[in-house]
A and B are shown apart, each in its own frame.
Chain A
Amino acid sequence: MSWFGPYGGRFVPETLVPALDELERGWREALADDAFRRELHELLTAYAGRPTPLTLAERFAPGTSLYLKREDLLHTGAHKLNNALGQALLARRLGKRRIVAETGAGQHGVATATVCARFGLACVVYMGEEDLRRQRPNVERMRLLGAEVRPVGFGTRTLKEATSEAIRDWISNVETTHYLIGSCVGPSPYPELVAELQAVIGREAREQVLAAAGRLPDAVVACVGGGSNAIGLFRGFLADEDVRLIGVEAAGAASLASGRPAVLHGARSSVLADEDGQIVDAHSISAGLDYPGVGPEHAFLRDSGRAEYTVASDEEALAAFRDLARSEGILPALEPAHALARARDLDAELVLVCLSGRGDKDLAEVLARS
């Protein structure tokens, strides 16, 4: 079982533990299987569109060499597909023909619906009613792809409740169903598994920035909700001690900046919780960052000092969204707009930002605030 210092673990009802053991065994065997790795590589290349390019954003950040890792150009429009493809292959290996997932912004839901269509798997996606409202285009995409979208109408009606409902569905259907979690959160082995599947971002980005700039960046920056695009990027640079790793949370959902140790969705991590361990509501304009927890590896990287975590407000993210659109002709998702907001005021010459997804899903939200 994987722990990241004191973080991680498996805080789940007993019913799920054997399934987590099976998943961990299956994952280890898959990683050691050349055929599995070849098939995943082939899908990431020919189906998903990897490698994604690196773009120099000269007009957005004049005076700084700011490179964008273009996960927005991946099939389905976000980095989520890297993880969904890998887990779908794994589910097939484990003989599971039904997939459940949670989604916040809808990007993970779309990625999951996409891989289920591609592999002929039944797909149920849980989504909070508040997110259904603000991410309408993604709901329609999931339905067109053949997924059943189940609204979650209690509690905060956002990603936190959608995740709880997906886990409850898994508890009830564990023999037939794989839970395709969307971020590096949840009980072990999910945080490690998702990080490994997203590490392709950092591996590519490191090679690309060396080729483009001739050296490693001073800092790499990514937004952090659950933290999967950030951990994927960071993994490429963890061993490069001179490269600053910077995660940017939404100011109203800063699990790392203002959380405390608590247990949420099967793992011990840094969580927005009160002194009694009750989970507190998060607030962000970005549905993908609107989550009170974070992956346990990020909590560990914060404590160890290897990574730094900061925040951006809704307004700062909106301003960065508009500026990137006008200066570079790229509409970012609101999630990486938080990373852009902090990246441009860094005191650094060479910066790499993970542009984790494209902004089409956010147009209504942005236009309503303009």
Chain B
Amino acid sequence: MSKTLVVYLMAVPEAPELAAAAVEGGADAVELGFPFSDPLADGPVIRRAAERALALGMRTSACLAVLARTRDLLPGTRLIPMTYASLLEAYGWQRFAADAEAAGASSLIVADLPVDEQPELRRVQLVAPTSTDERIRLAGERTDGWLYLVTLAGTTGPRAELSPALSGLAARARALAPGVPLYAGFGISTPEQARAAAALADGIVVGSRALQAAEDGPGALRAYVATLRRALDS
């Protein structure tokens, strides 16, 4: 079965066109980052992109409008807002989920909301190499569609090597969350890393490197995503 390729983009005004380019390059799903001023899980690339987006006025309602325009351009692609708890706290947890869905969101990721907080909020759960078996089982039960495997103890951003912790985490998640698709993210940026991660999981998520490619426009992003697609399909 073909491996799933998820591309993370920051919710900026040109995000719909960038998302379309990513899909042309072979992305199956797009995460749209709703920027937060103090993103604990993010490394320098996403942090800087969030700062720039906030300076452009990309607050929650503007991000939802970008999501809706992306949905118009890409009626068949999974679109997943990824953000932080403070935005939902301010907007209203369930109101956020409802308005995101109305704008075309397929699901939701909240980077600083562990599985035991806000259990009624339907979302993609994250598990990490430090997660206990009990927490992986709970995340597998509660997650919305797939489990996000955080490959390493650390923040987002490119690394020289794929995290050696992924294989153990993927094996545990397979056993503890049977039947749940597993997509690996954090520290995956090259075609070689994409292929190696996809050998262990059902899909991969690429963020920081995609944002860097997107800085050079839709054409550069499409070309970068295509290199990952080829690596996953080879």
Binding site for A on B (CB under 8 A): 36-38, 40-41, 43, 47, 51, 54, 59-60, 84-91, 111-117, 126-132, 135, 139, 150, 153-155
- Contact pick for B38, options A15, A172, A264, CB 8 Å: A264
- Minimal beta-carbon separation of A179 from chain B (angstroms): 12
Task: Pick the 8 closest A-B CB pairs, nearest first.
Answer: A277-B90, A277-B86, A263-B86, A15-B128, A172-B154, A276-B59, A263-B85, A13-B41
Contacts of A171 in B (CB 8 A): 40-41, 153-155
Residue of B nearest to A15 (CB): B128
Cα–Cα, bound, A174→B152 (Å) = 11
Please provide the chain A residues from 148 to 175 with a CB less than 8 Å away from any CB of chain B in the complex.
154-155, 160, 164, 167-168, 171-175
Q: For the complex formed, measure the closest distance between the CB of B231 and the CB atoms of chain A, giving whole angstroms.
A: 27
Chain A interface bracket (under 10, 10 to 19, 20 to 34, 35 or more): 35 or more
CA distance A345 to B86 in the complex (A): 37
Residues of B within 8 A of A18 (CB): 130-132, 135
Residue among B47, B51, B155 with max Cβ neighbours from chain A (10 Å): B155
Interface of B is mostly: loop
Distance, CA A175 to CA B38, complexed state (A): 24
Whether A174 contacts B130 in the complex (CB less than 8 A), given A10-B114, A13-B41, A17-B135, comes out as: yes
A348 to chain B, nearest CB (A): 37
Q: Does B91 contact A14, Cβ atoms closer than 8 Å?
A: no
CB distance from B29 to the nearest CB of A (A): 20
> Number of A-B pairs whose CB atoms are under 8 Å?
117
From A17, A172, A173, A264, residue with most partner B Cβ within 10 Å: A17
CB contacts (< 8 Å) of A262 on chain B: these are 86, 89-90
Q: Are A265 and B59 CB-contacts (below 8 A) given A11-B113, A14-B126, A15-B153?
A: no
Does residue A9 face the partner (Cβ distance < 8 Å to B)? yes
Q: Are B85 and A11 in contact (CB under 8 A)?
A: yes
Given A13-B111, A15-B131, 15 additional A-B pairs, CB 8 A: A10-B114, A11-B112, A14-B114, A15-B128, A15-B130, A154-B47, A164-B40, A173-B153, A263-B85, A264-B38, A265-B38, A266-B40, A271-B86, A277-B87, A279-B37
Question: Contact at B153–A14, with CB atoms within 8 Å?
Answer: no
B90 contacts which chain A residues (CB < 8 A)? Answer: 260, 262, 273, 275-277
Pair B127/A168 contact, Cβ less than 8 Å: no
In the complex, are the beta carbons of A164 and B127 less than 8 A apart?
Answer: no
Say how far B37's CB is from chain A's closest CB, in angstroms. 5
Provide the residues of chain A in CB contact with B36, threshold 8 Å: 277-278
Which residue of A is nearest B43, CB measured?
A: A168
| A243 CB-CB contact with B under 8 Å | no
Using known A-B contacts A15-B153, A171-B153, A278-B54, determine if residue A9 contacts B86 with beta carbons closer than 8 Å: no
A sample of 18 cross-chain residue pairs with beta-carbon separation below 8 angstroms, ordered by A number, consists of A10-B117, A11-B85, A11-B86, A11-B117, A15-B131, A16-B130, A18-B132, A168-B43, A171-B40, A172-B153, A173-B153, A263-B85, A266-B112, A275-B90, A276-B59, A276-B87, A277-B60, A277-B89
Instruction: Choose one: A14, A263, A264, A276; the contact of B150 (CB below 8 Å).
Output: A14
Which residues from A are CB-within-8-Å of B59?
276, 278
B86 touches A13 (CB 8 A): no
In the complex, are the beta carbons of B114 and A277 less than 8 A apart? Answer: no
A301 within 8 A of B: no
Bound Cα distance from A43 to B189, whole angstroms: 49
Report chain B residues within 8 Å CB of A14: 114-115, 126-128, 130-131, 135, 139, 150
CB of B95, distance to nearest CB on chain A (Å): 13
Across the interface, which residues of A come within 8 angstroms of B85, CB to CB?
Answer: 11, 263, 268
Looking at A9, A262, A263, A276, the one whose CB has the most chain B CB atoms below 10 A away is A276
> Which partner residue on chain A sits nearest B61 by CB separation?
A276
